[in-house]
A and B are shown apart, each in its own frame.
Chain A
Amino acid sequence: MGDALIRAVDGVSLEVPAGEFVALLGSSGSGKSSMLNLIAGLDTPTSGSVIVQSHDLAKLSREELAKYRLRAVGMVFQSFNLIASMTLIENVELPLRFAEVDRRQRESMAREALERVGLKARVDHRPSQLSGGEQQRAALARALINRPKLLLADEPTGNLDSHTGTEIMNMLRDFNRDLGMTVVMVTHERALAERYAQRMVFLADGKLAEDRSNRPALGVQS
């Protein structure tokens, strides 16, 4: 590694209006994941600014960033990132623990979220007892539990077969359409982006290569 500064994202200017479904595309190492981490408040830029809901994330303290991640953003990952030692319902209610939500309220909220993603029967299972699609659905339920306005997805279908991948993508689309959530999805599958995203942003070597709008083929089932 060393001390040399590697500019993963450099000189990119991007504005996403509320309620939009944006796909960040690019080959690996293009800086799309770094970009997503900046929007998620997991990373801070060495220069420049990231403004979400009129807050500049670059100027927030670690404590404020944690609060931002808790309240304003929901996140799903390629590898699901559920905690293996916890059951699904415990995983889903974990953000509520950090938010200091009352125990009883927490349980019903978590159940409701799992029901929405169709995992009502699996609440007491551990992640290892579930299929990849089910795990990603649970991760979605966790991302939604604090009702954020912004959903960030990092290769959400990367570890899934095409059928379950479509299932997850449909859910993302539904959340975008029905709940009015802004979705920013990182993917390297152009076909997937074309099918669901309203806008496609291409990154290459940390720079913005192309930014174009797209008419998603809504309702297409594979």
Chain B
Amino acid sequence: MKLPDLTELALRNLRESLLRNSLTTVGISVGVASLVAMLSLGTGLQQLFTRRLAKSGLFDTIYVLSRREMRGMGREEERNGPIPGESRVLDEAARVEIEHLTNVSEAYPDIRFATELRFEDKPHLTTVSALPQSAQSNDAFEHMQGSFFASETAPEAVLQKSFAEELLGKTPPLGAPEPSVSELAQPLIGKELTMRYAQREVTPRETPETRGIAPSDDSVGTSYSVVSREQKLKIVGVSDLDPESMRGPARAKVFLPLKLAESLHVMQPTDLREISRAASDQPAYSSISVRVKNPSQIQSVEDAIKKMGFTAFSIVDASRSLQQVFKVLYAFLGIFGSLALAVASIGIVNTLVMAILERRREIGIMKAIGASDADVRKLFFAEAGAMGIFGGVIGVILGWAIGQVINFGTNIYLKSQSIPPEHFWAVPWWLVGFAIGFAFFVSLVSGLYPADRAARLDPVQALRYE
């Protein structure tokens, strides 16, 4: 029999005992729905974590250091590469070169320094760090109060929560509940901070005579001086989390726009070491943060930077092992989801065996007028397959609906806990196809035995049956 005929006859037979076949189909769809629900929960959670990790900036950032900074770290490339003193300086030219590598979205110098900030005439000593505008997508600023810098050069500052507590004198004792960010931000935003810092200033060329020292070959002639300066900053925001959580003790508590910080020429620790270069307007950077467009490209970019003669490192292995964890989670969710489908497949076997008993005579008639064993087998197969496809489609819709309801419910709960809503549930297209295909496959397997039994029915016996 040809496939269209087979399908037509199968659908007709399914309609004949509509209630029983519908119930079986519902059984399959519940099975598929549970499979879809489980796997979409897995997918949703994976996407959620990946999104979170991407936002944290930990997995798309490479830290680049000059090899001069790495003295004594004992890294392999230090031993094999050029000796630190001769290796390349991490300056503006190097930064631009790195930024032009493929797959790099930006490269910015890490500027950080300890300095004194005055607020309402009280001095506070803290670490200040510069941030590019792109940092506002970092999840640390997701729940910040106030706003991010208006521009890269605006004389503005964003405070970290603990520093805000310090300014207001509200640092809670250990173990006591912390004040909320909005509470802290309210009296601070719009207020002014005065930052006192040490500026590195290139001094004009001096003649040896004026200094009374005999000229020597290694006096290059340029020099710089350190001048104390003040910069007024407007507090525009207070952030809850720490964007530099991985920096440990070197964390900054106050953040400035990157271009503003660069223009201040604040004295950097490297300036002491690179004394000859520090005199120029293009200073060496202690380190550069490089952000790649996609975390998967991090290794190739890292290799390219190493080839340029710098030391580079990133956190990439953490996300890899996380993928591993999700694969295991997926397998478990899949197995649990499949259980209901396995139960449903027994329903298919039952329904079809019942159908054979009921349609014994019909099978006999078909055989008497020329149906082959194969025709009868295919017909029962087609009926099982049709139930599988129907069940699969309904199940996917059902699973998707369950997901929407749970998503909705969870988000209401999250909102009541003042946590922003999240998408835990994702039904990707491959899952839709897989679920329907799997239901079809399971149905066919369930149809194997009934179809074979129907095919082997003796026509003489079957025709005698009333």
Which residues of A line the B interface, CB within 8 A?
Answer: 37, 40, 42-43, 62-63, 66-67, 69-71, 75, 77, 81-83, 85-86, 94-95, 97-100, 103, 142-143, 146
Contact = CB atoms under 8 A, between A and B. Distances in A.
B366 interface: yes
Contacts of B13: 85
A98 B368 CA distance: 12
B323 to A, nearest CB: 51
A69 B368 contact: yes
A62 B366 contact: no
Contacts of A70: 369-372
Given A43-B460, A85-B16, A98 B369 contact: yes
Nearest to A62: B373
B368 A75 contact: yes
A155 B361 CA distance: 18
30 contacts: A40-B368, A42-B459, A62-B372, A63-B372, A63-B374, A66-B372, A66-B373, A67-B372, A69-B367, A69-B369, A69-B370, A70-B371, A71-B370, A75-B368, A75-B369, A82-B365, A83-B365, A83-B366, A85-B13, A85-B16, A86-B12, A94-B366, A95-B369, A98-B366, A98-B369, A98-B370, A99-B370, A100-B1, A103-B4, A146-B370
Nearest to B466: A79
B121 interface: no
A213 B16 CA distance: 48
A135 to B, nearest CB: 13
B122 interface: no
Contacts of B361: 81
Contacts of B12: 85-86
A142 B370 contact: no
B244 interface: no
Contacts of B374: 63
A42 B5 contact: no
B463 A98 contact: no
Nearest to A74: B369
Contact of A63 (B5, B16, B373, B459): B373
A43 B364 CA distance: 12
A100 B459 contact: no
B12 to A, nearest CB: 7
Contact of A98 (B362, B371, B460): B371
Contacts of A42: 367-368, 459-460, 463
A97 B1 contact: yes
A61 to B, nearest CB: 10
Nearest to B13: A85
A82 B372 CA distance: 18
Contacts of A103: 4-5
B370 A67 contact: yes
A82 B364 CA distance: 11
A83 B358 CA distance: 13
A124 B368 CA distance: 23
Contacts of B366: 83, 94, 98
A98 B1 contact: yes
A142 B5 CA distance: 18
A127 to B, nearest CB: 11
A37 B9 CA distance: 27
B375 interface: yes
A77 B370 CA distance: 15
A97 B375 CA distance: 10
B365 A98 contact: no
B201 to A, nearest CB: 94
Given A71-B370, A77-B368, 5 more contacts: A67-B370, A70-B371, A77-B463, A95-B370, A97-B5
B2 interface: yes
Interface in B294-327: none
Contacts of B460: 37, 42-43
Nearest to A70: B370
Contacts of A86: 12
Nearest to A94: B369
A42 B365 CA distance: 11
Nearest to A99: B370
8 closest A-B pairs by beta carbon, nearest first, are A70-B370, A66-B372, A69-B370, A97-B5, A81-B365, A42-B459, A95-B369, A98-B370
A40 B369 CA distance: 10
Contact of B463 (A71, A81, A82): A81
A100 B373 contact: no
A191 B418 CA distance: 96
Contacts of A81: 361, 364-365, 368, 463
Contacts of B463: 42, 77, 81
A98 B372 contact: yes
Contacts of A77: 368, 463
